[in-house]
Amino acid sequence: MLVAQEDEAAGQGWCGPSGRYVPHWGYTRMIGYYIDLALHSLRRSKVLTVLMILAIAVGIGASMTTLTIMHLLSGDPLRGRSGQIFYPQVEPDPGSKAREPHDVMDYQSAMDLWSAHRADRQALVINSRVKLLAPDTRLPPLMLSMLSTTSDFFTMFEVPIRFGRSWTAEDDAAHARVAVISANLNDRLFGGQNSVGLTLRLKDSDVRIVGVLAPWRPSPLFYDVRGGRFSGGDTASFYDKPEGVITPFTTALEINDGNFQPFTCWSNPVTPGHLQNASCVWVALWVQLGDATRVASYRRFLDGYVAQQQSLGRITRADNTRLRSLPEWLDFNGVVPGDVKLQTSLAFAFLAICVCNVVGLLLAKFLRRSGEIGLRRALGATRRAVFIQCLVEAGVIGGLGGLGGLFLTLFGLWLVRQQPVPYADFVHLDVSMFLATFLISIGASLLAGLLPAARASLVEPALQLKVL
């Protein structure tokens, strides 16, 4: 193997062991030369090289698979607009002693706040199960989840529409029998064709399709997030697919009355499922506030509303209100499933074990070359030069391990997509995780190479030359 030293005093060139002069290339070409030396060294110790690359690749494959899932599940669902979306809460339960208000509101509080129109946009949200029949097809009736909301939902959450349009505020007020359906349901019922104007039967009522969504897969299903802190880490349901059919809030109250489930009640409803006048919380309200001034104004409005309701005797705890932004609300509910967090921790612990193994292998490899390193030092190479060359060799191992880890990561993500978990269908490797794979791999190998490189740079040339 060629050994070289940098003539740091003259700063003009390199001198090989035979005294042959090599022109000065600069720092970049010096690193390139070290990479060439590293590849030559790796070819001389094929078994040791394969073991180190495999150790890095397996550790990277395991850690990046779980880190990619964590990255996807904890991403911003509204691409930078989440800080403008807020979730107001009040506490209507007179007997509640909890520090936090209920995750959703009673019907009257939600309607009062929505009707006041004190936000830039606002949307009421409820869910229910409904029987759906498409008279224009021969398919049997389906039982599916129905989202019921108000017209601002589509613009506030940037819901993409492929065919038609969403309904209007006038449709909300008129209790219009209209619906928007998901791309998946449109594919299932109508083969993906433009179904605007066709009729669906929801329970016992006919509604007209006015819009069909483009493929839309928010991660998580943020507008449905509630009760996460009570789930014990089982929050995978927050990553379910969006509801198949979306109807106006007021329309749903009429056509699907009796099928709404409360979040909790402090007295039994007179008629199960009829919750408008029941002592139950079951309605979510989302608001959009464009700047800090609007946020402060809405907080004052919310506090004023609760104080007014307290004076009327309907609300007893005027101090128990919240106005969290969407990121704060998701964090409060711990939307990332607990098993994913545990798997990520275990995977990085496994990567640390792999790095420790690489430390031992690198140490053995470098110490086997003590004679060569001693000769190089005797010819004038500095300890710094030896240290850098050894680190470059560790970095090359990391790059090759990262390439292997990339293939193992892709295989791991493919396995996840085969699992019966709600988020399986959108698991993929994006550009940021692709780059992170190599950065973490090279970083781990450089970390593993610090101790062996430092030990190699301390080799005494006199002792090695005496042995030779």
Is 120 part of any domain? yes
pLDDT of residue 293: 95
pLDDT of residue 14: 43
* DSSP for 138-171, written as a single string: -PPPEEEEEEEE-THHHHHTT--EEEE----HHH
Is 338 part of any domain? no
Is 339 part of any domain? no
How far apart (Å, rounded) are the C-alpha atoms in residues 329 and 84? 12
Q: Which of 332, 358, 391 is the last residue of a domain?
A: 332
Residues 191 and 313 in one domain: yes
Residues 65 and 119 in one domain: no
| Range of the structural domain that residue 106 is part of | 82-332
What is the distance of C-alpha 184 from the center of its chain? 23
pLDDT of residue 40: 80
Give the count of domains, the chain.
2
Is 468 part of any domain? no
Is 393 part of any domain? no
pLDDT along the chain (468 residues), means of 10: 39 40 55 77 83 91 89 81 93 84 93 95 94 88 94 95 95 95 94 94 94 91 81 69 93 89 82 78 94 95 93 85 92 79 85 90 81 73 81 88 92 90 83 90 90 81 52
pLDDT of residue 233: 55
pTM: 0.78
Residues 100 and 189 in one domain: yes
Is 340 part of any domain? no
Residues 288 and 351 in one domain: no
Is 387 part of any domain? no
pLDDT of residue 2: 40
pLDDT of residue 26: 55
- CA proximity to 126, closest of 273, 19, 13: 273
Burial class (CB in 10 A: 0-12, 13-18, 19+), 7: middle
